[in-house]
Amino acid sequence: ITSCHDCPDTTPSVDNHNELIKLKIHNSTSHGIYVETSHNLLEESEIYNNAKYGAHFFRSGGNTVNSNIIRYNTFHDNTTNDGWGCGLLLSAGTDNVAYNNIVYGNFAGLCLQYRSVNSSLYNNISRNNANYGIYVGNNAESSRIANNTIYNNHAYGIFVGDGSRDAAVHNNIVYQSSKSNIYLEPADQTGTIISHNLTTNPNFVN
């Protein structure tokens, strides 16, 4: 599913206000969903087994991807081409938000990248991803990562680097990451604030 691919940098033509609800999107040879526009809702959908990203909110060379809401979805087992990819990417715009999603089995779970400004990830579960539970980088600015459960990812639980600026990471449970539960790249991030995160055994019942 592609929303306004390569559409012009004008409004309101790039403000589509689409609602994508209760979908199953799978086995694409590219991304499951590719969105370049603003004010869209993705809700209660299952997105899985796609060759690249599960859901790709991005525009090359433009910041037209604003105020999208992604909630109550499951993103799993994407990036089947063995490349770099995310279950969900939010980028190329401001005020995007993802909450109450379940993400597992991807190269990276949840990503804020590529000119993302003031975007938020909260109340999500990101587990058993091949490299990152949450990845913040590629010049993301003022990212907010809060109240997520991030468990058993095979490199980093939360990674902040690659030019990230002024991220806030707080009130998350991050445990059993192979390399580091919360990693701030020393040479390539600035202004990150981390507080009130639990990185010891949370004693999950099941």
pLDDT in tens, 12-43: 445 689 999 999 999 999 999 999 999 999 99
pLDDT at 62: 84
**Which tens digit of pLDDT belongs to each residue from 58-113?**
998 888 999 999 999 999 999 999 899 999 999 999 999 999 999 999 999 999 99
Burial class from Cβ neighbours inside 10 Å (0-12, 13-18, 19+) for residue 39 reads: middle
pLDDT tens sequence across 141-165: 999 999 999 999 999 999 999 999 9
- Which residue(s) pair with 110 in the sheet? 88, 134
Which residues are paired to 160 by β-bridges?
Answer: 136, 184
3-state secondary structure string across 24-59: EEECCCCCCEEECCECCEEECCEEECCCCCCEEECC
CA distance 118 to 141: 6
pLDDT of amino acid 11: 45
Q: Model pTM?
A: 0.92
pLDDT at 12 (0 to 100): 44
Cα 114 to chain center, whole Å? 12
Q: Is there a cis peptide before residue 12, judged by omega within 30 degrees of 0?
A: yes
Burial class of residue 195 (count of CB atoms within 10 Å of its CB; 0-12, 13-18, 19+): exposed
Residue 133 has pLDDT above 90, yes or no: yes
Q: Which of residues 187 and 16 earns the better pLDDT score? A: 187
**CA 34 → CA 75, 88, 196, distances in Å?**
14, 10, 34
Which token pair is 111? 């990503």
Q: Supply the Cα-derived Rg of the chain in whole angstroms.
A: 16
pLDDT of res. 2? 52
Per-residue model confidence (pLDDT) at position 87: 98
Answer yes or no: is pLDDT of 1 > 80: no
**Identity of the amino acid at 149:** T
pLDDT of residue 13: 47
CA distance 28 to 44: 19
Residue 7's pLDDT band (cuts 50, 70, 90): low
